[in-house]
A = this chain, B = another copy of it.
Amino acid sequence: MYSYEYPRPALTVDCVIFGLDKHTLKILLIQRAKEPFAGSWAFPGGFVDMDETTENAAKRELEEETGIQDMFLEQLYTFSKVDRDPRGRVVSVAYYALVKMQDYKISAADDAQDARWFAVDQLPPLAFDHQDIFSVAMERLRGKLRYQPIGFELLPEKFTLSQIQDLYEAVLGKKLDKRNFRKKILSMNLLVDLQERQKGVAHRSAKLYQFDRNNYLALQEKGFVFEI
């Protein structure tokens, strides 16, 4: 009904950054410095400028509020419930990423008075509809795990089967049967047995693997179903 003229909804972006901290899946939240929801925790984000794409807005806001530079973000979903922001009509385009937590140094600034990682099962109450955004992001991440290999950027170059199982368990939020998991992951021809064992561990040392880069990329392209 409206033409190009006003009124218009305001447009924001939000960033759901999943960080893997060994056995725990975390997300990065900022504590809002300003109203509405001053003092509450929320995803890093903010208003889209007139001269930037939503993706660039997401990267800019992430950097302004947390210090993280130039992260690769994937578009998640656009949230548009009419009452999702007490200031009035605001539609938000959400982005997400999964990274190794230790690779990033966080420093709150701009609209954020604090920025911290929270375990996904120990989140504080979130501002706006960010609980909905979180749910959609978790679902997408778990869906991705079922259809594509993950771990290339998350695990060390050489890793044990326990480490890759920890990764899957952290994302899925549940324990997996060790024998079944190993059988499945090895049957995918994704891993190369390095014929080496861990060094300097107290317990019985485990075999080391690395990803077969070509098969990893082929599986990423082709997809599979990892039945869990």
Contacts and interface: CB of A to CB of B under 8 A. Distances in A.
Interface of A: 1-4, 6-11, 46-55, 75, 77-78, 80-82, 87-91, 93, 146-147, 222-225, 227
B54 A80 contact: yes
B223 A222 contact: no
A188 to B, nearest CB: 12
Nearest to A93: B78
A6 B4 contact: no
B82 A54 contact: no
Nearest to A143: B223
A224 B8 CA distance: 42
A88 B4 contact: yes
Contacts of A90: 4
A146 B224 CA distance: 9
A2 B49 contact: yes
Say what secondary structure dominates the interface of chain A: loop
A98 to B, nearest CB: 19
A10 B10 contact: no
Contacts of A51: 82
Contacts of A8: 8-11, 47, 50
A52 B6 CA distance: 15
Contacts of A80: 48, 53-55, 93
A57 to B, nearest CB: 8
Contact of A9 (B46, B48, B77): B48
Contact of A75 (B11, B77, B81, B82): B77
Contacts of A227: 222
A50 B93 contact: no
Nearest to A61: B1
A147 B144 CA distance: 12
A224 B55 CA distance: 31
A216 to B, nearest CB: 16
Contacts of A77: 75
Nearest to A57: B80
Contact of A49 (B1, B49, B223): B1
Contacts of A3: 47
- Of all A-B residue pairs in the complex, the 4 with the closest CB atoms, nearest first, are A2-B47, A54-B80, A53-B80, A78-B78
